[in-house]
Structure 1
Amino acid sequence: DATYQTTAKNIAGWTVKTTPSNATGVFTNTNQIVTYVYEKADGAPVTVKYTDDKGNELATPDTLNGKLDAPYQTTAKNIAGWTVKTTPSNATGVFTNTNQTVTYVYEKADAAPVAVKYTDDKGNELATPDTLNGKLDAPYQATAKNLSGWKLKTMPSNAKGVFTSESQTVNFVYVKQTDDTKKDDPKSNNPKPNNPKPDKNKPAIKINENNPKAKQTTITKQAKLPKTGDNKQNNILFGVIGTCFVLLGAFALTKKTS
């Protein structure tokens, strides 16, 4: 009939699930058993984060709770425009008595391709189309091809842009390169400078330096050189006169000696 009182023990990793009804009582003439039933203690929470490779959060973190040594399993979220870059090594595990963090790192998802075409103004393809690929929101730049005999008509407005989730087409339209279009295209020809030779027969113009306001005066044309035919006639005449002088000299010398 004496009273007794029992208490639960502190067992690491365990907690009392229920306190028995005969935890306190009185001694009797028969054996009594007081049984404390335990269960695993609560583990520390597991935090699940979803970030880009710079640590910026892309979605609200989640928190998982469970008993010590109980298994946990995490899954990546579907985030529009993003894809999981790497799966963390602790994506699955067990709860412990310390906090844990599971971080899913994302990168931009692959965007729809950008088709680059090269056609004439009737839609006929002039060269093999190209395809540009990249991540969503990443910039792209398409460039026109140099096609022999063709000239780019207009630069398409979407030659530069960003990749999106929808397919895009950049169309470079060309026109036949004619003589007229070559004149407009500095790369198609190399025109000679319009610098005609001066006219020798045109009188030179001289400005009076002492009186800038004075009217320009015309300088008399330079004397023309003799023509080729005149030079020949003069040479013959000079030859005849020279021969006469030689003959007269010889005649005078002969008369003197005689």
Structure 2
Amino acid sequence: MQNKPNLKLSLIIGILLAVTGIIGQPLVVQANQVVAQNASEITDQTPMTAVVPDQTFQQILAERLDKPVEAVTVGDLATISYLEIPIWGGKIKQLPQNFEGIQYLNHLNRLNIAAALASDGAPDDIDLSKIADIPSLQNLEISGIFVPSERMPDFSKLTNLDTLALYQLITAAPGYEYQKIDNQIFEKMMGLPNLTSLTIEGTNIDSIAALPAIKASSPLTKLDLSENKISDFSPLGTMNLQGMDIDISLQKWGSRYYEIPRSSLHYDQQTHLLTIPADQLRGIGTLFNGEKSWMGKLAYDLGSLDISGELKETDDGWQTDQPLTQSQFSQLSSLSVRFNGNLDLPTPPGVNSFQQGNNIFANYITIEPDAGQPVTVYYRDENGDDLAPAETLTGSVGQNYQTTAKEFPDYQLKKVAGNTTGQFSEQPQTVTYVYTKQQADQGTVTVKYQDAHGQDLLPPLTLTGQVGTDYQTTACEIPNYKLRTVQGSQLGKFTSDEQTIIYQYEQLASDPFKPEPTPTPTDEPGNQKPGLLQVPESLLETIDNSLTEVSTKKHPQQTRAPRRTKHWWRLPQTGAAPVTIVVGLVGIVMLVGVTGLWWRNRK
């Protein structure tokens, strides 16, 4: 029984060892089966199918090595120095869709990919990017693969590249347009220190402005740019072409565009000939010393002008039964002239060979009307001050123009100086819109101060202001009256309708113990109150206590004990004037003083 735990443990260990042994055995890869592996795990013995996923590419590499697909290893790929895709005369007639794994051909120095050798051409979604990962590559040729520039390899990574050739020579069927490389391809050719030969044929390249930068970093000795769409070869004049072989022939699809003012042209109404001055065509594509010759007509019969404004060559050589009159010619807003011409360029000095035959261009000349003088439009008030920035209209002589008035708050249009519509001419023109300021609507608010009977206590107050602005009224203090009610809004805005605000007051009850004030010019406000006397505290003890303190409260019958503070006292009402009361009190004070002195001397 004690051996059972040991038996179970041995059984578990045995199972684990068996599983580990199975997993640890190398996998047998069947033909065309791909097993993804980390780059660090790939050795010379790694099957090719583990690094090359495209089956067509697997078959091409196996055919090149003359081995079965499943027998080819990564080490075999490193022995290939030259590769044609597809192989000339080989069994595989297709192109790969993906070139993943070509980087393991690390001794490959020449690669030729030709869609013409493929029975079905190139796949639409062919991926050429991995070709840039072959650092040993010295000679690369890609032909018949119609992809745009962005889908081409980044050639600048191939620093050992000596020869680069790109061919897209094919004429598309009617109604079909092939994708082709364009001027952007030059961005992928910068910084190639060993490039001596560059061929680009049959593409959509129409400018070689970037070529001098490529030549500055590459020892080019051969340049073939034939059968493209280049019409301006002037960048060659800035390059060192010493000892170079240059071919710029067969530029049959190139186009040149010119804009020539009407005043530079000559039209003969009698012969119907439009003469294009040759000097107007110079400076376009100037090469080296500017010499060039045109093989083509520079005079055309405008009688064949159709309604589209394009001259079309006829069998009898630009003849017409309905000639264009001088007036009709002067009224044309634009005119497109198409003609073919062969540009004959001089041979650059120092070159080894220079080919340029059959460079036929489609030349387009747009005859533009002469530029007219501007029409300046002003928006001003009656004082000549601008209400808005001036506007400038431009156009060709004879072309119509139209101006419009603007709206400005609180202004209305008064008059216009100049023609609001017309035609541009050889003389500058001005149009001035003059505005007058509108008088703003005024509102009125009348403020009244009345008693309960509607009688005015104060003269009415009239407030005026612009409609929509704020107004504010206030109550007034009126003696013996207190504010009772307010009719209307004390605060508000002026309107187009008249408004009235009435402050209504009620009269206060009269005080029988308080005489009405009688202001005189000699009164000094603040010195004393009418009918009141301010008595110093030192004299309070000598005054007869029969004086009565007048209460300011509503119950005059209530009295208070005398306080030794400063008080206002009122003598009994006798009808005497306040001055008489004062004189009497002064007399009492003097009598008391004299009596006191007499009493002291007696002792």
For Structure 1 versus Structure 2, the TM-score category normalised by the shorter chain is 0.3 to 0.5
TM-score with structure 1 length normalisation? 0.40
TM-score with structure 2 length normalisation? 0.21
Higher helix share: 2
Which structure has the higher relative contact order (CA within 8 Å, separation 6+)? 1
Higher strand share: 1
